[in-house]
Amino acid sequence: MEIMEINKFFGGKRIFITGHTGFKGSWLTFFLDQIGSITKGYSLKPKTHPSLYSSLSFSKNHESVISDIRDGVKLYKEINSFQPDYIFHLAAQPLVIDSYSNPRDTFEINFNGTLNLLECIKDLHLNCSAIFVTTDKVYENQENNLSFKEVDKLGGKDPYSASKSSSEILINSYLSSFFYETETKIASVRAGNVIGGGDWSENRLIPDLIRSIFENKKLVLRNPESTRPWQHVLESINGYIKLAIALSKGNSKFQGAWNFGPENGDTKTVKELIEISRNFGFEFDIKIEKNQLQKEAKYLSLNINKAKENLNWKPKWNSKEALYQTLNWYKEYYNGANVNSLLINEIEKYNNS
């Protein structure tokens, strides 16, 4: 991330972030707070224990509103009082497996929450740039081992993927109907499987792996052969920030959908990530359980040429380096390191790469 350019656009700017208490939201909010942005977060209380957000210290320029994205009246009030220059929408029910247990909540949070935010932006006539975070799972996946482009057909066999792909259609409809010729610029972003320090979610590979390493819990794998576009959390944040800057310059070509993932050929199976972790010297026990989620995709890869060619964005760390940095972050955390310092050091390493 080019700090000078980022400071130029975000230093002192008012930035509204939904889902700021989540894993990715915490990293984004902390980074923006560090460079002098005025941030207002809108989210539910952290759901994990420990929680990255609760472990961090923020400046007086950060305000946290604990509320539900499904409460459109409250959301409108908070945005109207803040008058943001930028909006990052990360609030979501983010897990495929949870979407099977709670499909209604998944759709209400992911689709209706996005609708509430779009309505707020429309009705308030905000002169701002807004980034809507969806997922790499929005594409109709025929398991043909191809990398998805932004123009490929959307779909979703599980409730989570369907809720996100329908949100993409919603975002595009508002872009075409209400925002295309206005000062409001919006885009959606589809990132690969994001990893990094501070994620303690259930039923995610890396947090489960960390618990097996440092808390002596058995690692349960649902599908060791599944292939995913793994990337460090700072890669996606870098992409979101570059896109927000491009949007704020007023060029409508930056609106619409964008992929952010690893380089072509850098996807890894779950089994390969486990072997890399062992090669780093970490020890843990594994239990294989047959995957009961028959609709969960086995192969997923993103084509990132659009972002590389138009945003001058590309991954700095390959999947192996991203995993190493993540495992090392947790190692230092369990050794008692200060969490603010861990994020600052990680950001500096990434910037200098």
pLDDT higher at 320 or 280: 320
Label the pairing between strands 185-191 and 219-221: unpaired
Q: What proportion of the chain, given as a percentage, has pLDDT over 90?
A: 84
Which token pair is 323?
């995993």
Res 33 pLDDT > 60: yes
Share the mean pLDDT of the chain. 94
Res 323 pLDDT > 60: yes
Report the pLDDT value the prediction gives residue 295, as an integer from 0 to 100.
65
Taking residues 21-45, what's their average pLDDT? Answer: 98
Label the pairing between strands 268-269 and 227-228: antiparallel
- Where along the chain do its domains lie? 3-351
Taking residues 185-212, what's their average pLDDT? Answer: 95
Rounded to whole angstroms, the Cα distance separating 235 from 179 reads 28
- Convert the pLDDT of each residue in 166-179 to its tens digit: 999 999 999 999 99
Residue carrying structure tokens 């192996």? 320
Rounded to whole angstroms, the Cα distance separating 65 from 220 reads 35
Rounded to whole angstroms, the Cα distance separating 131 from 341 reads 27
Taking residues 44-63, what's their average pLDDT? Answer: 97
3-351: CATH topology:
Rossmann fold (3.40.50)
Taking residues 269-282, what's their average pLDDT? Answer: 92
Whole-model pTM: value is 0.96
Query: 113-124 and 72-82 are packed helices; what angle lies between their axes, rounded to 10 degrees?
Result: 40
**Bridge partners of 268?**
228
Report the pLDDT value the prediction gives residue 250, as an integer from 0 to 100.
84
Report the pLDDT value the prediction gives residue 303, as an integer from 0 to 100.
97
Taking residues 14-41, what's their average pLDDT? Answer: 98
Q: How many CB atoms lie within 10 A of CB 223?
A: 17
Which token pair is 263?
């380089």
Res 17 pLDDT > 80: yes
Report the pLDDT value the prediction gives residue 257, as an integer from 0 to 100.
98
Backbone angles phi, psi at 41, to 5 degrees: -100, 145
Rounded to whole angstroms, the Cα distance separating 40 from 42 reads 7
Taking residues 252-275, what's their average pLDDT? Answer: 95
Res 210 pLDDT > 60: yes
Res 141 pLDDT > 90: yes
Taking residues 216-229, what's their average pLDDT? Answer: 90
Confidence of residue 145 (pLDDT cuts 50, 70, 90): confident
What's the angle, vertex CA 94, arms to CA 273 and CA 175, rounded to 5?
115
- Kindly report which listed range (58-67, 197-206, 289-298) carries the lowest average pLDDT score: 289-298
Report the pLDDT value the prediction gives residue 291, as an integer from 0 to 100.
62
Which token pair is 330?
């947790």
Residue carrying structure tokens 């890396």? 206
Distance between terminal CA atoms of the chain?
10
Taking residues 321-337, what's their average pLDDT? Answer: 97
